[in-house]
A = this chain, B = another copy of it.
């Protein structure tokens, strides 16, 4: 039996509530598929920060690096500024482990009310490939004239050919692998004078290497509108760190709720562990009540299985989610119209395996 070493980081808020059901589903599918998991759980979080002044211990990255993959819950706590908590754990993991692909499915699931008129499961089904290590997310910059009326900030984005080409190439390869050779690029070259014309140039260069792939490029403003007006148009959408971030919340919004959406932070070369997390955050407003929807976390675990090469197990987990959601008799959490607790809904998905 193959055993995978998984670093488990429940994090803050509902992260701690949705993680146990995800581990239960992993264990259940492991039995079916004859795969083992050995978990190391770390309680690194904003509470750690409040107690120690840092989000994770000094040897945190070393410890994580000894695992085959990382399963993350959510990070964020009302009394710790977001830019402190995120730049203290989530963003360094993405960067130091060179998880340059942030892959996020947009898919209308059965049993989830779509906010758009007349859409059925199957109608909306595409992938967002987000750059995950550079671009707009940057600590380069600072304040001038601090505390005076002339005060201001500068914030500098950096895009490299290395970073831009590899994410765009991943998108083209994915489109090919899926048998859906169509890649859409998010740009804003009419407003962002340096970064986006460069992005467009690299996109065009890469497109020339994939002549059988249909391509189009959309300014991020109109692209956001098109996600609402014609989501069925898209197959693979590639965007910068910020644009990919926006689109990958908007996409799940268009398909009903961000509570069910997963996110894979992938180092495709396998040099470092990849990290899997739900798209949603720590949701302090509902934390502690055991009503958080565990689907995002469970689907993230399914993406982790895929990434580990256990495609069959990943497929089974996604099918279990869909089976449970499609059956109105199966209990579910209040956010999608049920009355079940996080644990009950999680158990129902495990049972659907």
Using a CB–CB cutoff of 8 Å, the interface residues on chain A facing chain B are 76, 81-83, 85-87, 91, 114-118, 136-143, 149-163, 188-198, 220-222, 224-229, 241-242, 245-250, 252-254, 257-258, 281
Contact = CB atoms under 8 A, between A and B. Distances in A.
A193 B140 CA distance: 8
B136 A149 contact: no
B258 A225 contact: yes
Nearest to A117: B117
Given A83-B190, A228-B250, A198 B143 contact: yes
Nearest to A252: B225
Contact of A193 (B85, B118, B139, B193): B139
Contact of A225 (B149, B161, B253): B253
Given A228-B115, A253-B225, A193 B83 contact: yes
Contact of A195 (B141, B160, B229, B248): B141
A250 B229 contact: no
Contacts of A141: 156, 193-195
Given A228-B250, A229-B253, A153 B159 contact: yes
Nearest to A85: B190
Contacts of A152: 158-163, 198
Contact of A253 (B87, B162, B192, B224): B224
Nearest to A157: B155
Nearest to A258: B225
A190 B83 CA distance: 4
Contact of A197 (B83, B116, B193): B83
Nearest to A141: B194
A215 to B, nearest CB: 16
Nearest to A165: B149
Contacts of A247: 224
Contacts of A195: 141, 153-155
Nearest 7 CB-CB pairings of A with B: A225-B253, A82-B190, A221-B249, A152-B160, A155-B195, A224-B250, A141-B194
A207 to B, nearest CB: 17
B159 A156 contact: no
Given A117-B117, A224-B250, 6 more contacts: A87-B193, A152-B158, A154-B194, A155-B192, A188-B242, A246-B246
A264 B229 CA distance: 24
A270 B157 CA distance: 34
A304 to B, nearest CB: 22
